[in-house]
Amino acid sequence: MPDLPYAALRSAFDNQSLFEDKTWQLSPQAWPLSTEQVAQLEGIGVACLEFHQALETLYFRSVAGKNLLRNKPLLAPWVADYLDRGKPPELVAHARDPKNRGAFPTVLRPDLLLTDDGFALTELDSVPGGIGLTAFLNRLYGGEGDPSILGGKDAMIENFHQSLAGLRPEMRNPLIAILVSDEASTYRPEMQWLAERLQHLGRRVFCMRPEDVFPLGGELFFNVDGTPEKIDIIYRFFELFDWANVRIASDILEAWQSGAVVIAPPMKHFQEEKLALALFHHHLLQEYWAEAIGGRSLKLLRQLIPQSWVMDPTPLPPGAVLDAPKVGGRMPSDWRDLIAASQKERDLIIKISGFHETAWGARSVVLGSDCSREEWQQGIEQALRLAPTNLHILQEYRKPKRLTHPIYVNAGADNSSAMDAQPKAGRLRLCPYYFVVAGQTRLSGALATFCPPDKKIIHGMQDAALLPCRVVSLT
């Protein structure tokens, strides 16, 4: 795979803005993944879908007060209480509607950190950004069809459409509306690009704001060149905390209830909660997960998901201890006991579970080992203060390993525009995209975020490089 010149990269991004007011570092090469890593990624996709299926069963059995195990009594009404906490009643009722059973996100994107011990799965996103960007990068770095690009040149585009069109199999070419809210407007350019590519392939896919949609006779429409067009499928590009700001929310629910429109990902709040990862590690639920998830996927998830805990401040009886990390060699009886943890013991991350404007983009993240004791205390106190409506989780921090990759840097004198690719050290977050088509996950591409080594929390930033991935054979 030949290196991409800086001028070609710069020109491509200047001609197509994929994010509003965002820039990043450029590299001549896609991120290399070994065939063994790609095989593991394939297994991770299968495991993520199995996890979602098991999570749905857990939630509905908890709601109904049904037993969780086949041959042993186990009730967990507290699971539904955790997942429903702070959610509007109409959204909870919608999620529990029998018509919603078996509806899963059409795209799954785990956040994977590459550590010395392999991958660590820190989040599982069902409304992920970067779909259009990764598709664009696959095309840019893949040229006229480089077979080494993970997923291929157009797999992101084609499988995005197939995952949605499959929701209306009775329709030959359903009209799909990608609704991007104002809260998520940063991502609107990439979704607009994605829609335009699909239009060039003859697909009826349009990117719009929720206010562009209007109800008519119990169905939903938008104007195309002044002519109302009926919407068959909505791809909602906004998380459910933003639901109250969607002006046509009630019309969407009415059209969904009548069967006039399908919504993807489904509006099921428990699919957007990070505390699902803490439930996976909860000591009371271990037998449930072992029954609900296949052995291979269960083993993989136990390796991938860092130990996580729900920060529930409910008072304990005397002598009881929390399901939490040790402090000074002892199990804590109050979450505030963690304030006294040493810096080594604070190798932990606090983050809000979901249904909040700070639940994405690392805005709620507090890394204990990388902040002052005062900031650590503030993070704990905030988590406990918000617990009645917004639970936080505590997660073991797994440090990404140090890697190198060529990055374009200014190699000239003052004010020179000469750019040269030089190997730079950094740490990696890998975001593979799995589209669910006919009940199966399709690995269609992956976005590599390569950050400077001093960045403890890896996310899209000005001094990071955003790259597609390619498959290499290691000999």
70 vs 54, 67, 167, 288, 294, CA distance in Å?
14, 8, 32, 9, 15
Report the alpha-carbon distance of residue 313 to residue 336 in Å, rounded: 9
Supply 209's token pair: 């704001």
pLDDT digits (tens, 9 = 90+) for 121-153: 999 999 999 999 999 999 999 977 788 999 988
Nearest to 390 by CA among 83, 64, 29, 89: 83
Reported pTM = 0.95
In the chain, the amino acid numbered 412 is G
% of the chain residues with pLDDT over 70: 96
The mean pLDDT of 87-96, rounded to a whole number, is: 95
What number of other Cβ atoms are within 10 A of residue 242's Cβ? Answer: 19
**Per-residue pLDDT, 429:** 95
In the chain, the amino acid numbered 335 is W
Instruction: Kindly give the pairing relationship between strand 440-451 and strand 419-437.
Output: antiparallel
Q: Answer with the residue of higher pLDDT: 111 or 146.
A: 111
Helix axis angle for 188-200 and 131-142, nearest 10°, is 60
What number of other Cβ atoms are within 10 A of residue 225's Cβ? Answer: 5
pLDDT digits (tens, 9 = 90+) for 258-271: 999 999 999 999 99
73 pLDDT exceeds 50? yes
The mean pLDDT of 228-235, rounded to a whole number, is: 97
Report the alpha-carbon distance of residue 373 to residue 378 in Å, rounded: 9
Supply 26's token pair: 């450029």
**Per-residue pLDDT, 416:** 45
CA dihedral 218, 223, 227, 228 (to 10 degrees): -10
Task: Specify the residue for token string 């709040």.
Answer: 269
DSSP notation for 205-270: EEEE-GGG-EEETTEEEEEETTEEEE--EEEEES-GGGGGG-TTHHHHHHHHHHTS-EEES---GG
